[in-house]
Structure formats: structure tokens, C-alpha cells
A and B are shown apart, each in its own frame.
Chain A
Amino acid sequence: MFKLAVKSLLARKLRLLLMVFAIVIGVSFVVGSFVISDSLRSTFNSLATNIEGTTDLTVRTSQDFGDNALRPPIDQSNVDLVKKLDGVQAVEGTLNVFSGITPIKANGDPVKRNGPPIIGINTVTSPELNQLIPVDGRPPSGEGEFALDVDAAKDFEFVVGDTYTVLLPAGSKQVKLVGTFAFNSAANDTTGAVLVAFDTPAAQKFFSLEGRFSEIAISVAKGADLAEVQARIAEKLPAGAEVVDRSVKIQETQDDFDEIATIFGSILLAFAMVTVVVSAFLINNTFRIIIGQRIRELALLRALGATGRQVTISVIGEALVIGVVATFIGLFAGIGLAVLLKVLFSALGFSLPDGPLEILPRTIIAATLVGVGVTIVSALLPALKVRQIPPIAALGDDFQLQGTGLRRRIIVGGAVTGIGAVLLGLGLFGSLDTTALLLTLALGALTMFVGINLLSPVFAVPVARGLGWPIARFRGVAGQLARDNSARNPRRTSSTAAALMIGVALISMVAVVGASIKDTFTGLLDNSVEADFFVRPDNAADPTAGFSPDLTAALRARPEIESVEAFRFAQQSVRVGGKTKDLQGTDFKNLLQHLNPDIISGDVPAAGPNDVLVHKDPAKDLGLQVGDSIDMLFIDGKTETLRVAAIYDDASILGNWVVSLDLWDRHFTATVDQFVTVRSLDRTDPTAAAKAVEVETAVYASVKAENKAEFKKTQQRRVDSFLAVVQGMLILALLIALLGIYNTLRLSIYERTRELGLLRAVGMTRAQMRVMIRWEAAIVAVFGAVLGVVLGVLFGVAAASALPSSFIKSITLPLGSLVIYVLVAAVFGLLAAIFPARRAARLNVLDAISHN
């Protein structure tokens, strides 16, 4: 039986190729996403070890929660404290500042990388702890000099000896580039980050960290016992400081990197899964058609004595061969894809570190499960149906495999769709953790796709006829035949359309969510923003990016400007009621003149420095009323008891917790402003204020100032470019669907050879035949797209209502885009039909008539 399966496959090479191709795409994506995230992780891991250099112990402030980047600096008096201890070889205070630092290029543009940050550091003198290897020039000394890492200097064309402007937390400075260096090794292990170095006193001053360091690095003397030295240091440290060894630091860095690699890999994997599911539909459809065409051959086998089981096994055998071959190819294709993706990302400016490709056994197992598993599952039902074929069918003319009855189809399809909907509902409105949530959603969507696919033959005929009506009306008898052909095999039409449906559904869902987010934001700007101008760092990708408060002060000093409101925020930086929360800081006095967060109760302008503004949701959860007290634990380990001054409704800009900047400065080190709104003195004509804003921000090349309309547009564009990336990846699913349409058409044309010959014999021209085939494909494609849009809108509305109201207040249907998707699907259908149509038109009439 197995030999038979292989023979039968080889007899149909093109079909085999198409199926293999569909699976290869899915498998290669799975492999590619695993390989790239594993490689990233392993590269990062070795890097995490490397960049610790020779530092044995690190003294720093202790921090119970929150991101490492938010860790408060440590007082420099601790350096001397440690220095005197036994067993300590060298001690250096180090600075790593992640925000507010931007060197300006010779042409006036700010230095900017997509992703990796710009980090301000100090130079250290002790050879044991120095990680900067001079490349050109010399180390900086004094407030007039700086150095850059060698890659940044090269990429942004900085010349040693020239003077540049560098924007710093303490303001903008003119400094001379006196040298370049490689970090940690000759390879310059910055993972793409830009390093800007000053000598220690200048760095402390420029970074607004006088008398403080980010950490204190310690090298232990040869022969000294590390644990003993650590204990000795710990004993001497003041409260709120800690000493950790190398392994702790390495682990922390690895965890941070791991998070990035995991997110990256998961996103890729999600897209991979989409392509796998679409491929499964394609394979299933192809198997079903092929078996339909081979009924006579299979019946002959039965007549010659093969049992139903043997015939079924031979079909599954075919699937197995296809799956194995495709997995094998997909494995290599996936590795190629990983390489390609890396190149692509660095071309886009997201540099990923170099390193060997990691191909773990897990990757190969996953590839096999997907490749072989999906193929066999897809072939299973058609293979089981084969048992129905009676030996007598070998003789008869028109044996058709029994499709599922209408009633049963409605019941089963409806039930499956229902289960999918329940799963989706559970995911969207239940409270699951992230992994379970994503799994539930994915499973729910998949189940719904299968359910709709089961149901859709029930309505495929009327819908296809309806969609085909204009074509039948305006493209003559060829159009009419196209419509009839698209409706003649509802099962097949549905399955072919299903592959397209999935891609279109996901794209439509993203479009609905995106449009709703955009509209929410636009509405917000129109209704609740009172300010005239918005000043923000250019680098929107970095949530910690900011600029010197000098700019805020300069704006405030302009007579054309009525008032200026500065905002700062820090993710996961406080604990309230035992949970870690994001925090915003601003001034209460003028806040309502800039923003209108829909105050429910309380008085914002009268709020004092130790007051807090709370969004209604957490207020409700914690049972807070205006005037109540609440304890807030800050990242520096100190707790403040705050009075609730007001409760508000709109969290879209303010978030859930807002404190005064006075309180902020007491607990956070990042002294940069992250967002500033400006109100014109002249309320009717903001031209003068616009000029003032322009003049003041001109000095800050990395700062962007926008009026309301521009700000609105920028925010919309941000959503749009995110949508474009997601939809771009989903296009792949559409391409596979295209392949599915192509495949089905090819097979259908083969089946109908004699009919096509007859049409040609009685006078159908080649052009008319092409029209017929093309429009058949277009109708099927549009059927799939319409189903997809309907499902996508459902998914989108569900997802939008599950999102918090700070993202989505009201749901917007992007009707224009949805119509475009359907039209694009029609074009896709027409494209997919190009070759099958040409093939049909070229059929030799006589051969076709005598074909059987």
C-alpha cells in the first residue's frame, strides 16, 4: 500500500509540489521563529556574561520590585567605605544613564537608533575595572570632552577632534570628541546601543547625578575569598544598599534579554501558526479534491481485493510522505528564513547581535509535529471517506463521495462555531494569565474558523450566486458560467474560500481594533485636551526617553506662553495595595487647563504635593473615596501616605495613578521630562506661542514640538505603522490562500477538461474561457473575503470591547478598508487564476473532448 501511495504521488507531481509548498511555508515559519529567538537568546546569554567584565561584586541600592533601569542611584560615599575593606582590589563608581542623552550629528540631526538606547557612561581609571578599550584618540577629561563607542562614531560620522552638541539631562553642552573606544572587547559588545562617555565628575554633573553613581563596581583581590569579602561589604553598607555578586548581575541581564527574545519569538510564532492553519485548510481541500478525482482508481483497487482499510491507509501514507518531505525542506527553509529575517531587521535599523544560529532539538520536534501532524490531520477525514467507495464505482460513471447531510452539517458546524465563540468569550472577558489567554484566544479563533468552514457550504451556493450576479449580468455567458461554476461544488468553494477567510478575518480584526484605537485617541484630543502644543522626544519607541527640564523652564519663561505642564512616567514603579503599578507625575495646579480627564469628584488645582489622583477603576477596586488615605511604596523602598485628591474617568493620557512632581523628584532619579504640553497666552491666535515653542525647541534636535493637528496625525501614524507591520505579516496568510485558489482551480479544470473542450468546440473563444475561469476564482475569493470581513469585524468588536477604555472608548468600523480588503481579495482571485485560465484556454479541443 505504501508503494502505491508513493507511486500515486509521483504521478501527480505538480499537485504534490503545491501541497509540499504550502506545508513548507508553515514549517519554515515555525522553524524560523524558533531559530531566531533561540539564537538571540544564546547570543544574549554569552553577551550578558561578557559585559560583566571583571567586576566581581556590585554595590547598589536595593530594589524590591520594578525595572532595573529605575533603580535609584547610590551615594558616592559608599565608594570610600568599600575601598578600605580587606580583600578589595579596586573600586569604581559607574554611571549608566538611559534617558535624556543625545549627541547631535555634524549635520544637525540627532543620533537615533531604532530600538537600542543611547547610554551615558563615565570613564573609570582602575585597569581592573575599565571596560573601555581605546580605539582612536584618548579618554575624555574634564567638562569639555567626550568619547563615543567606535561603531556609533562610524555610523553617525563623528570625527575625533571635532566639537559637537550633546543634549544631556543637565542641558545642552558643546563638547569635543577626543576619542573612540570599543566596549568590553575589540568587537564592541554594545548590542547596538550608543555609548557616550565623559570623565566621572563631568558625567555626574551632566547626568544630574552629582555625588551619586548608578552602581559601584568592585574587583576582589587575588586569593581573597569572594563570599567573605561580600559579607564584609554587606556588613558595612547602610540600609537601602546591597552587594551582589557577578552571577546575580549576569542572571538579571539574561532575564532582561530573555524577555526581549521571548516576545520577539512569540510574535513570529503567532504568525507562523496562522500560516500553518491556512496551509492545513489548503491541504485538506486538495486531498479531498484529489480523492474525488481518484474514485475510479481507488474503486478498482477495492475491486481487485483491497480492503477499505488498506485504501484509507494508502491515502494516509500519501499524506505521511508529503508531510515528511515538506518538513525536511521546511527545516532548511526555516533556517534560511531566520538568516533572512536577521538581515532584514538590521536593514531596517534594528540591529540584532551577531552570533551562531541555534538549532535546538525542540525546533526539529516542533517542525515535525507541524509538518507531518498537520498534513496527516488534514488528510484524515478525506482518507476515512475513502472507505465509502464501493468496488462497483470502478465500473459506474458518476459515483460521488457522500458529503455530510445538510442537517448534520448545520448541527455540527453550529456546535463547533459555538464552542469557538465561547472560547473567545472566555479569553476576552474572563481573567486568564497571558499564556492561557493567548492559547484560549487562538484555539477559539481556530475552532470558529473550522466551524464556519463546516457551516459555509450551507450558504455558499446562494452567496456565490449573489456575488456572481453582476458578473453573470455584465460578462455574458462566460460570466454566467463563472458564477455557476463557483456555485456548483459548495464544499469545495467553501474550503477554498476558508483559507482566504482566515487571513482576511485577522487583517480585518486588526483594522477594526486599530481604527477604534485611533478614533478613541482623536476623540480624546478633540474633547479633552485643552493645550495648544505638545513637546515630546523624537524617539517614540523608547518609553523612558525624555529631555532636560531646562527646555520646560525655557518655555515657561516665554511671555507668549500662558502655562506649561510637564509629565513624567515610570512603568511598574510603585506598589499600591500589594500590586505593582505604573505612575505618572505632573503639577496639579494647571493640569485641568491642559487636560480634561473628566473629574468625577475632588478638586485637582487645590491638590497638594502629597496628594494623588486616581482613576475610577483602581479607586473602585480599592474602595477609595476623595479624602481617603492610601499607602504608596516607591521603587526606592520608601512608603508615602497619600491623600486621594480627585477621582477621574479618562485614563488615556494620565494612566491610573498621578502624583505631584515634588513627590516624584523625591523618589525617582530620572530627572528628565517626558512630555510637555503648552498653552498659548493668546487663546484665539496661537501663532506667537507657536513661534516661541519653535524657537525654544530648535536647540533640542531630538525633541519634537507639534500643534494639536500635527500631534493627532503623529499618533494616528503610529497606530497606522503598527497596523501596517501586523498586516504585512498577515499578507503571507493571504498568499498561501492564493496558492489554495490556484491549486483548486487547477484541479477543477482538470476535472472539467471534457466540459471545457465541449465549450471550446461549440464556439467559446480562448478569451471567453479565460474570463470564465478568472471570474470563478474572483467569486470564490470574494466569498472568502466577505466571510473573513464578517468574522474579522466580530473578532475585532469583541477584542475592542475587551480592551480597557483608555485604549478604546467606542468601536469604529473602518468601512473603507474593509471594502478594500474584499476588492483586494477579488484581485487576488483574479491573479491566482491567471495561470489556470491560461492553461484552460490552451487546452487542445480534441484532446479535451476525448479526455476521461
Chain B
Amino acid sequence: MTSIPPPQSPTDTRLAARAVSATKIYGRGDTEVRALDDVTVGFEPGRFAAIMGPSGSGKSTLMHCLAGLDTLTSGEVFIGDIALSPLPEKALTLLRRDKVGFIFQAFNLVPTLNALENITLPLALAKRDADDAWLDEVVTTVGLKDRLTHRPNELSGGQQQRVAVARALASRPDIVFADEPTGNLDSRTGAEILSFMKHAVRELGQTIVMVTHDPVAASYADRVVFLADGKIVDEMQDPTADAVLDRLKHFGD
């Protein structure tokens, strides 16, 4: 297996997020699973990165650990220059609230809150006022202007994901993590969401790391990192869907 070194040193503190020798082991003895095996990877600010790999390769685990939702067995992850493993639970929560945005595959929204309230939820939790100009820009970008007072159950799946994107962006986080954000959507709606995300990176300067197993989704990113069996096995700059598909076909070779 070839291992291509990352373009920038993972110790570079200018990175938005990075993992250094990150290892995550589930279970013990016979049932031991190395979900992450000594992964070292970094994500530059203002870029759209995709993490790809077959099912069970450790994509979600990597993302969760980077985002402070899960802890490593060994190694370290950083958001900006903050090392996460020494942080107590509360500090991790505040860090997620203030510096990280999330987009999950489904169930992104609180059903009792309307679209706008969902978007500003992290801000409200932090008792921070929304930056109105920015909020307006985000909302306009994702095309939700006339849906703001709707409850999630009054929105289509695509609209719900757009609200989730807007929420992830609203607090101007240092980095946004998205776990298969288009996995539950038809391809046309999925394409829309991906365009929004790409737009947010290009025009609004956001940093996004997206987990996906869909080569078309990956093609929206600036860079693709390939995972297999908990290890980084390859990476690709400015990917096209065909190139990614081609690379995936040769997995396990």
C-alpha cells in the first residue's frame, strides 16, 4: 500500500484541524477493532475536504474524534491550536458550540424549533447575538429566506438539510464537519446542498470536512483523503467523480 505524505506538515498550527498519530480501538482481545490506526492528517482553512473510504473504514470515527464528539485511544487531535484530549467535557462542549459546525446525515433539526431558531441554536446556547449581516448572507446563500418560520416537519428533506447547513455556518465556526450530508437525499437535492457547501467555502471562506462514500459528492471537494481499515491510504487534489471512482475501484489491490 502506498502512502502519500500530506501536502502540508500536520504539525502546522495554521491548519484548521488535524490529527496526529490518532488511534482509536474499540473492544478488547478477540473483538478488538482498530477503527483508526495511527492516522496523521491535517485540514487547511478555507478549503473543502472530503474523507472517503469503504464502509467500516473509520470515516465517521475520524470525523467524530476531530470534532470532539469522541475521544482517541492514543494520539492527539487539534482544532486550530487547541489539543482536545486534555479538555474536560464542558470545555469540549463549549468548543463544539463556538468553533465547530455540524451537519449530520439525518435528524439535524430540533422539531420544536422553527428554521430560524434551529439555525441560531448554537448562538442561542452560547447566549451570543447573531451577526445579522452574516446570518442574512448564509440564509440567502442556502435559499431559505421565505422558510424561516417553518417547523422542520413543514420542510422537505432537502430544505431540512439546507437549514442544517445554515446552522453549521451561522456561528462562523472555524470548521464544519459533515457526515454524509447528502446520504438521505435524491441526487438532484444532494447536488444542491453540495453546491451550497462549495459556495460557502469559496465565497464565504468557510472550512468544511465532509465524510462521504459517494464519488460525485467527493468531486465537489478541493481534496479527497482516502481511508481504508483505519489508515490513510491515499489522497487526491481537485478530484473529479471519475477519478475518485477509479481510485475506489482499485482499493484493496
Contacts and interface: CB of A to CB of B under 8 A. Distances in A.
Interface of A: 476-478, 480-481, 484-485, 487-488, 754-755, 758-766, 768, 845-846, 849
A765 B109 CA distance: 17
Interface stretch (B39-47, B76-84, B117-125, B233-241): B117-125
A157 to B, nearest CB: 64
Contacts of B126: 763
B93 A763 contact: yes
A768 to B, nearest CB: 6
A846 B89 CA distance: 13
B104 A768 contact: no
B173 to A, nearest CB: 10
A327 to B, nearest CB: 40
A845 B69 CA distance: 7
A485 B93 contact: no
A477 B93 contact: no
B64 interface: yes
B97 A762 contact: yes
Given A758-B108, A762-B122, A766-B93, A476 B127 contact: yes
Contacts of A849: 69, 104, 107
A764 B97 CA distance: 7
B121 A477 contact: yes
Given A758-B104, A845-B69, A764 B125 contact: yes
Interface string B224-244: 000000000000000000000
Given A759-B110, A759-B121, 15 more contacts: A476-B124, A477-B125, A481-B113, A485-B112, A488-B111, A760-B93, A762-B122, A762-B125, A763-B93, A763-B97, A763-B125, A765-B90, A765-B93, A765-B125, A849-B107
Contact of A763 (B70, B89, B98, B107): B98
B64 A755 contact: no
- Measured as residues with beta carbon below 8 angstroms from the partner, the interface class of chain B is 20 to 34
Interface of B: 64, 69-70, 89-90, 93-94, 96-98, 102, 104, 107-113, 117, 121-122, 124-127, 167
Contacts of B125: 476-478, 759, 762-765, 768
A846 B70 CA distance: 7
- 10 interchain residue pairs of minimum CB distance: A763-B97, A484-B112, A477-B124, A763-B122, A765-B93, A762-B122, A763-B96, A763-B125, A754-B107, A764-B125
A625 B9 CA distance: 114
B69 A846 contact: yes
Interface of A is mostly: helix
Q: Which of A477, A478, A480 has the most CB of B within 10 A?
A: A477
Given A477-B124, A849-B104, A762 B96 contact: yes
A762 B98 CA distance: 9
B111 A766 contact: no
Contact of B96 (A477, A481, A761): A761
Given A476-B124, A477-B121, A762-B167, A755 B110 contact: yes
A480 B116 CA distance: 14
B94 A761 contact: no
Contacts of B70: 846
A242 to B, nearest CB: 80
B110 A758 contact: yes
12 contacts: A477-B121, A477-B125, A481-B110, A485-B112, A755-B107, A761-B96, A763-B96, A764-B93, A765-B93, A846-B70, A849-B69, A849-B107
A849 B70 CA distance: 12
Given A476-B127, A477-B125, A755-B107, A761 B102 contact: yes
Given A477-B124, A481-B113, A846-B69, A765 B94 contact: yes
Contacts of A481: 110, 112-113
A759 B110 CA distance: 8
Contacts of A484: 112-113
Q: Which of B69, B94, B97, B112 has the most CB of A within 10 A?
A: B112
Contacts of A487: 112
B120 to A, nearest CB: 9
Contacts of B104: 758, 761, 849
Nearest to B106: A754
Nearest to B118: A762
Q: Which of A477, A763, A764, A765 has the most CB of B within 10 A?
A: A763
A765 B92 CA distance: 9
A479 to B, nearest CB: 10
Contacts of B89: 766
Contacts of B111: 488, 755
Contacts of A762: 96-97, 102, 121-122, 125, 167
Contacts of B94: 763, 765
A480 B120 CA distance: 13
A520 B72 CA distance: 74
A488 B112 contact: yes
A586 to B, nearest CB: 70
A846 B64 CA distance: 8
A234 to B, nearest CB: 86
A766 B113 contact: no
Nearest to A756: B110
Nearest to B109: A758
A779 to B, nearest CB: 13
B42 to A, nearest CB: 23
A765 B108 CA distance: 18
A607 B169 CA distance: 96
Contacts of B64: 846
Contacts of A763: 93-94, 96-98, 122, 125-126
B107 A758 contact: yes
A748 to B, nearest CB: 12
A388 B194 CA distance: 41
B179 to A, nearest CB: 9
Nearest to A852: B107
A849 B93 CA distance: 15
Q: Which of A478, A484, A761 has the most CB of B within 10 A?
A: A761
Contacts of B90: 765-766
Contacts of B121: 477, 759, 762
A768 B126 CA distance: 10
B61 to A, nearest CB: 9
A297 B81 CA distance: 48
Contacts of B97: 762-765
Nearest to B124: A477
A477 B120 CA distance: 10
Q: Which of A488, A765, A846 has the most CB of B within 10 A?
A: A765
A186 B89 CA distance: 72
